């Protein structure tokens, strides 16, 4: 089960509500001894015989038995663990429909949990899917600095500060040497403020790295000033020359850091969208976009890779995703949070790379 399918399942499970405490959730840690889980479930089944309401008692026992039967088929727990949801999802009272779902978390889980409730416990699993590598971003010159984060394909501005550093030339009444000394002192004060702000924003945060950018030598001088905490300095993954130091500078910094971010989602999505835009501009007929054009190529079995915008209407997004999966096509969901992702959204939210040239024209 990939991320898209898992999140769709979680959304469905969040909408299920039991009439009683008849919905069972089991989280098994990675590599955990399944015999202990089976033993716990057997104990819970014995306890469930004391439930007063007959229908609730039967539904809980049936759910526990269903889980136990499934776990008997599994010899060892996946290294990432296992999450099992099971319970009565019928909308008609007295006509139970006991369903079971098993999900392997996307990352190693240490959570052990058993819960019998009116709702499935989905939040811990959902948080695992929402974990993206996060980078701290700093862009600066001697006039200003802007701080932000990159998480997945989303860039967030955290803070913007300005310095008291004057221009390079004195306006008179002061010797050039004295003016230069005072200016250098103000630059050092600003470096200290940048370092202190970085500490407040990034220290003890779960960052994969920090990327710093700016015009000229200022960024390098700041790093070598010694004011930045060693722990943060050790996180620096890239130092880039960029033109701007405001919010647009953060976007420019990410754009210039494709080498650092080569395996991150924002770079992968950018490559897909830029390849699409290149194909469209060349008019090579090896791509199509828009719902109607993509549907035709799906019917013609002529799609190699399907691109779907995260901003697309939910029902249509699901329709195209599962159509692609049914035909064993590579499907990529492109976030709308980035400028590249926004281009795909503005093209109708869905596009495709083709196996052979299309006879239809993009409009």
Q: What residue spans define the domains of the chain?
A: 3-129, 134-256, 265-354
The pLDDT of 64-84, averaged and rounded, is 95
Burial code (b: 16+ CB inside 10 Å, e: under 16) for 179-207 equals beeebeeebeebbebbbebbeebbeeeeb
Q: What does each C-alpha distance from 327 to 236, 302, 360 come to in angstroms?
A: 43, 10, 21
The residues facing 150 across adjacent strands are 135, 155
SS (H, E, C) 158-210: EEEEECCCCCCCCCCCCCHHHHHHHHHHHHHHHHHHHHHHHHHHHCCCCCCEE
The Cα 53–Cα 262 span in angstroms is 57
pLDDT at 361: 59
Could you tell me the end-to-end alpha-carbon distance of the chain, in angstroms, rounded to an integer? 35
- pLDDT-derived band of residue 174, with 50, 70 and 90 as boundaries? low
pLDDT at 166: 86
CATH T-level assignment (fold) for domain 134-256: Nucleotidyltransferase; domain 5 (3.30.420)
- What mean pLDDT is reported for the chain? 93
The pLDDT of 218-227, averaged and rounded, is 96
Q: What is the DSSP letter of 31?
A: T
Question: Would the pLDDT of 2 be above 60?
Answer: yes
Kindly give the pairing relationship between strand 144-151 and strand 154-162: antiparallel
CATH architecture of 3-129: 2-Layer Sandwich (3.30)
The Cα 69–Cα 89 span in angstroms is 19
- pLDDT-derived band of residue 334, with 50, 70 and 90 as boundaries? very high
The Cα 202–Cα 150 span in angstroms is 12
**Which stretches does DSSP call E strand in the chain?**
23-28, 82-88, 98-103, 113-117, 134-140, 144-151, 154-162, 209-214, 236-241, 287-289, 303-309, 330-334, 350-354
Work out the percent of the chain whose per-residue pLDDT is above 90.
Answer: 86
Question: Would the pLDDT of 173 be above 60?
Answer: no
Residue 67, SS3 per DSSP:
helix
The residues facing 28 across adjacent strands are 82
Chain Cα centroid distance, residue 210: 18
- pLDDT-derived band of residue 177, with 50, 70 and 90 as boundaries? confident
Answer whether CATH 3.30.465.10 is correct for domain 265-354.
Answer: no
| pLDDT tens digits along 102-142 | 999 999 999 999 999 999 999 999 989 877 789 999 999 99
- pLDDT-derived band of residue 71, with 50, 70 and 90 as boundaries? very high
Question: Would the pLDDT of 167 be above 90?
Answer: no
The Cα 331–Cα 311 span in angstroms is 15
The pLDDT of 312-317, averaged and rounded, is 94
| pLDDT tens digits along 259-304 | 999 989 999 999 999 999 999 999 999 999 999 999 999 999 999 9
SS3 content of the chain, % helix, strand, coil (to 5): 40, 20, 35
The pLDDT of 48-72, averaged and rounded, is 95
Q: What does each C-alpha distance from 303 to 306, 344, 350, 353 come to in angstroms?
A: 7, 17, 12, 6
């Amino acid at each position: 089960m990939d991320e898209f399918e898992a999140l769709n399942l979680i959304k469905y499970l969040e909408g299920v509500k039991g009439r009683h405490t008849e919905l069972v959730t089991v989280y098994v840690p990675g590599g955990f001894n399944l015999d202990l889980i089976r033993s716990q479930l057997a104990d819970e089944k014995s306890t469930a015989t004391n439930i007063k309401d007959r229908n609730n008692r039967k539904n809980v026992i049936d759910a526990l038995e269903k889980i136990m039967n499934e776990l008997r088929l599994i010899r060892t727990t996946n290294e990432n663990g296992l999450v099992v949801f099971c319970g009565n999802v019928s909308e008609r009272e007295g006509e139970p429909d006991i369903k079971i779902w098993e999900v392997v978390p996307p990352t190693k889980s240490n959570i052990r949990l058993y819960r019998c409730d009116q709702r499935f416990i989905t939040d811990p699993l959902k948080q695992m899917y929402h974990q993206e590598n996060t980078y701290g971003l700093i862009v600066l010159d001697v006039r200003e600095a802007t701080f932000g984060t990159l998480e997945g394909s989303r860039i967030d501005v955290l803070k913007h500060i300005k310095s008291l550093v004057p221009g390079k030339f004195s306006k008179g009444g002061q010797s050039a040497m004295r003016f230069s000394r005072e200016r250098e002192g103000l630059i050092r004060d600003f470096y200290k403020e940048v370092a202190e702000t970085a500490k407040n924003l990034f220290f003890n945060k779960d960052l994969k790295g920090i990327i710093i950018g700016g015009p000229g030598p200022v960024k390098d001088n700041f790093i070598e000033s010694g004011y930045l905490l060693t722990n943060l300095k050790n996180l620096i993954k890239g130092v880039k020359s960029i033109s701007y130091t405001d919010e647009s500078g953060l976007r420019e910094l990410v754009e210039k850091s494709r080498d650092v971010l080569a395996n991150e989602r924002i770079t992968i999505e950018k490559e897909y969208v830029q390849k699409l835009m290149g194909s469209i501009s060349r008019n090579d007929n090896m791509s199509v976009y828009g719902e109607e054009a993509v549907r035709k190529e799906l019917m013609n079995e002529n799609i190699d890779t399907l691109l779907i915008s995260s901003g697309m209407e939910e029902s249509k997004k699901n329709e195209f995703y599962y159509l692609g999966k049914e035909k064993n096509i590579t499907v990529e969901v492109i976030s709308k949070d980035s400028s590249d992702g926004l281009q795909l959204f503005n093209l109708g939210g869905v596009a495709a790379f083709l196996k052979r040239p299309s006879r239809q024209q993009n409009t």
